[in-house]
Structure 1
Amino acid sequence: MPLKKSRETLKAVLLDKTAPIESRPLRVASVDVPSLSEEEVLVKIRACGVCRSNLHMIEGEWVKRGFPTKLPIIPGHEIVGTIDSISRGVEGLEVGERVGIQPLYHACGVCDYCLGGRENLCKRKVLTGQSVDGGYAEYIKAPYRFVYKVPDNLDDLEATPLFCPGVTAYKAVEYSDASLGKTVAIFGMGGVGQVALQMAKLRGAKVVAVSRSKKHLKVSSELGAHSVVSPEEEDIVKYFRRTNYADSSIVFAPYDRAIEEALKATKPGGIVVLGISGSIKEFPYYEEKIVKGTLIGTRKDMREVIKIAKDGGIRILVERHGLEEANEILRRLKHSEIEGRAVLTP
């Protein structure tokens, strides 16, 4: 059916040029409501999470990776809203339904990665808020095959973080081989780390939370961490040597030091999962440790995360803010001043 616009323009947060967040590079502007092509939906956004990867892109750290692919661009890739209108070819979705959008905006569907169930590695994938306009806005259009229904028992603020920290944590915990009787160390206990803690516990693992932030360690204890450790107060490597090491480690802390500590904290033959970019100065090949990288999930991963949340398996602390506060919220995120997940609402 043809697009029925609710309005001609929308309010959005635009990035015109990459720059340090302290220079307030984001501006609120009025832009045209996007027109739909076949098999697309227009979503009226109710909430969009603020992610550290947004910060990396905004500050220009990802220019060498080719992101953003266009300027100006609307950042934001963890989105919940309601379907405002649909185009020809859309199946299984109706106007008014509540849906979510994750970082994987689209994949080709025909390459070896897509056909092999690893569409997140598709060379032609499109990323929300990095390749196309994202969720720091009132509306977004998206391919309907990459839109997910949100369960009625989750409110907007609870559901929004599922679409990035939720799926990121799920993939990392799955790769870590967390299971009953095993110890998993998580380095970096912000929003993603907190979800990973809960997902690892659901698999029966003991979790050691590692963070420089006292606030994050307090939250980790409340979420059921077996123990919490601060590198500001204790030598991390000595701690894990004393406690017989971790079976696997997951790194979300954006520091090379955290990667080095995770490698040393993990027992020989163990697994280290990196959910961030960084450098490994010296790799102990003789200990046969396995290093895996992970970032975004597939549609299958996303549906599993939604099911876990629907069943009450995870809890995410959320701060709610307006679009106009985007610069300040990202500045606070940069300095680890957000306890859980910040969410922007139009």
Structure 2
Amino acid sequence: MLMKAWFLTKINNIENNPLELKKVKLRSLNDDEVLIKLKEIGICKIDLNLIEGDAVNFGYPSKKPIIPGHEAIGSVEDIGNKVEEFKKGDLVGISMLYSSCGKCKECLSGNESACKELLITGESIDGCYAEYFIGKSNFIFKIPQEISEKAILTVCNLPLVYKSFKLSLRNLEDKIAIYGLNFFSFLIIQICKFFNVDNEMIVLNEKEERKLNNILKEVNIKKISAINKNYYDGLILFRADDNFYKLVKSVKFKGRIINVTLKSLATSPLLEGKEIISPGIPTKSEIFEIQRSGLLNKITFNKIFYDFENIIKALSDLKMNNEIAKLILKIK
């Protein structure tokens, strides 16, 4: 069977059309694999980072050409001979976790995203920018019908920002700052509200302030020019820019700075007593936690759909950051 898929053939800015649409033959399934017909493919900032070369220093993509994309929802089309937990027609999700060894200390402790043999969907192995996806059955997530409308959030964006939120806190009485207005920060503001955690969204200018006020009510906003030294217990960064050291100064001694970017943040005497943490890839248990929690019911967001063939437009819109919404490729 043939399928259409988008391949990254060269690292380049999205404006230069670095993706190529091809028809390729689907391989046969191994015993532990699941064939999924994709319905919704999430467009994520991490995809854009990969395509434009921001992940090269981390060794990704580890092959070219590669099919990018690491978050999608679809239905099971076929299963391998030893797969028992899925059947044809099941609604399932695909995350960044393609596979791990399952035997090392990290895997056995539920921290498979730290496995040395970890394969990342769309970065070290072909991903979801395609009509079909073949995945390992123990890394595919069954989607309960009651969360199907919000399912695309559960495989990447929400587990990642929820993990970042938890890492930023030592206790629920902490006050945290959020920097970098995008869909991730939009979600984390709602998480703070759900857990009644004091927070401020730091914006660059009035334009960002207006944009945020248009989509969220009762949000605490502070301009970068007005932040105080030693004020926040934690800081979550969704943007790394020239304001970094000013933001660091706003964090208290022993405060935590969560770096949800692919930028390496240089050490400095300014960081003395303050800890920089990267959240890493959400684990299977963290994804299941999001599916089962009451948090998902309280999250509101808009979806913007694009035809599968309009992927360059979708990624360009994501880069422009004009809409704080979940951008999704829809396969008919």
TM-score for the superposition, normalised by structure 2: 0.91
The aligned counterpart of 2:87 is 94
Cα offset, 1:295, TM superposition: 2.8
Tell me whether 1:239 sits opposite 2:227 in the alignment.
Answer: yes
Q: What one-letter code is carried by the residue in structure 1 that aligns with 2:232? A: A
Tell me the distance in 2 between the aligned counterparts of 1:47 and 1:283.
Answer: 46
**Aligned pair partner of 1:24 in 10, 17, 30:** 17
Contact 1:256/1:280 (8 A) holds in 2: no
In the TM superposition, residue 87 of structure 1 has moved relative to its aligned partner by 0.5
Question: Matched residues in 2 for 1:327 and 1:113: separation?
Answer: 37
Structure 2: which 5+ runs fail to align? Answer: none
CA contact under 8 A between 1:41 and 1:85: conserved in structure 2? yes
Which amino acid in the other structure matches residue 313 of structure 1? K
Name the counterpart of 1:306.
291
SS state at 2:177 partner: strand
Residue 35 of structure 2 is aligned to residue 62 of structure 1? no
The structure 2 residue matched to 1:274, chosen from 255, 259, 281, is 259
Cα 1:175–1:144 change in 2 (3 A) is same
Q: Indicate if the aligned counterparts of 1:178 and 1:204 stay in contact, CA closer than 8 A.
A: no
8 Å Cα contact 2:181/2:208 also seen in 1: no
Offset of residue 63 of structure 1: 2.4
1:221 and 1:228 in contact (8 A); partners too: no
Q: Alignment partner of 1:320: what SS?
A: strand
Q: Is the 8 A contact 2:191 2:295 kept in 1?
A: no
Q: CA deviation at 1:274?
A: 0.9
Give the superposition deviation at 1:316.
2.8
Distance of 1:217 and 1:83 partners within structure 2: 43
Number of aligned residue pairs: 329
Question: 2:196 aligned to 204, 207, 225, which one?
Answer: 204
- Partners of 1:19 and 1:110 lie apart in 2 by 37
Distance 1:65 1:182, change over 3 A: closer
> Per the alignment, in what secondary structure is the counterpart of residue 306 of structure 1?
helix
- C-alpha contact (below 8 Å) 1:178/1:184 kept by paired residues: no
Match of 1:103 among 69, 93, 96: 96
Partner residue in 2 for 1:329: 314
Of 117, 129, 132, which residue of structure 2 is paired with 1:136? 129
**Which amino acid letter does the alignment assign opposite residue 165 of structure 1?**
N
Q: For 1:263-300, what per-residue CA distance to the aligned partner results, in whole angstroms no more than 9, with x for missing partners? A: 222122211111112323524354x2222111311000
Structure 1, unaligned runs of 5 or more: 1-7
Q: Which residue of 2 aligns with 1:4?
A: none
Cα distance, 1:41 vs structure 2: 0.4
1:58 positional shift: 0.9
Cα distance in structure 1, aligned partners of 2:182 and 2:288: 23
User: Would the aligned equivalents of 2:3 and 2:23 in 1 still touch at CA under 8 Å?
Assistant: yes
- Gap change, CA 1:186 and 1:220, over 3 Å in 2: farther
1:40 is aligned to 2:33? yes
* Aligned 8 A contact 2:184 2:238 in 1: yes
CA distance in 2 between partners of 1:332 and 1:311 (Å):
25
Conserved 8 A contact 2:209-2:221: no
Counterparts of 1:161-180 in structure 2 under 5 Å?
161-177=153-169, 179-180=171-172
Whether the aligned pair in 2 keeps the contact of 1:173 and 1:196 (CA below 8 Å) is yes
TM-score, reference length from structure 1: 0.88
State the partner residue of 1:344: 329
Per the alignment, residue 195 of structure 1 pairs with 187
State the SS of the aligned residue for 2:290. Answer: helix
Cα distance, 1:48 vs structure 2: 0.9
Which secondary structure state, in structure 1, belongs to the residue aligned with residue 227 of structure 2?
helix
Which residue pairs with 1:3 in the alignment? none
Report the Cα distance in structure 2 between the residues aligned to 1:259 and 1:98, rounded to whole angstroms: 42
Q: 1:266 to 1:10 in 2, by over 3 A?
A: same
Judged with a 3 Å threshold, the aligned counterparts in structure 2 of structure 1 residues 121 and 59 are, in CA distance, closer, same or farther, namely: same
Which residue does the alignment assign to 1:250?
Answer: 236
Indicate the larger mover: 142-151 or 216-225: 216-225
For the aligned residue pairs, the C-alpha RMSD in angstroms reads 2.2
- Give the 3 Å change call, closer, same or farther, for CA 302–210 of structure 1 in structure 2: same
Match of 2:152 in 1: 160
The 3-state SS of whatever aligns with 2:147 is coil
Q: Does 1:316 align with 2:316?
A: no
User: 1:128-157 CA deviation, whole Å, 9 max, x = no partner?
Assistant: 11111111111001011111111212345x
Name which of 100, 114, 124 aligns with 1:121.
114
| More displaced 10-residue stretch of structure 1: 205-214 or 318-327 | 205-214
Structure 1's 127 and 311: CA in aligned 2 closer, same or farther, altered over 3 A? Answer: closer
- Where 1:154 maps in the other structure, the secondary structure is helix
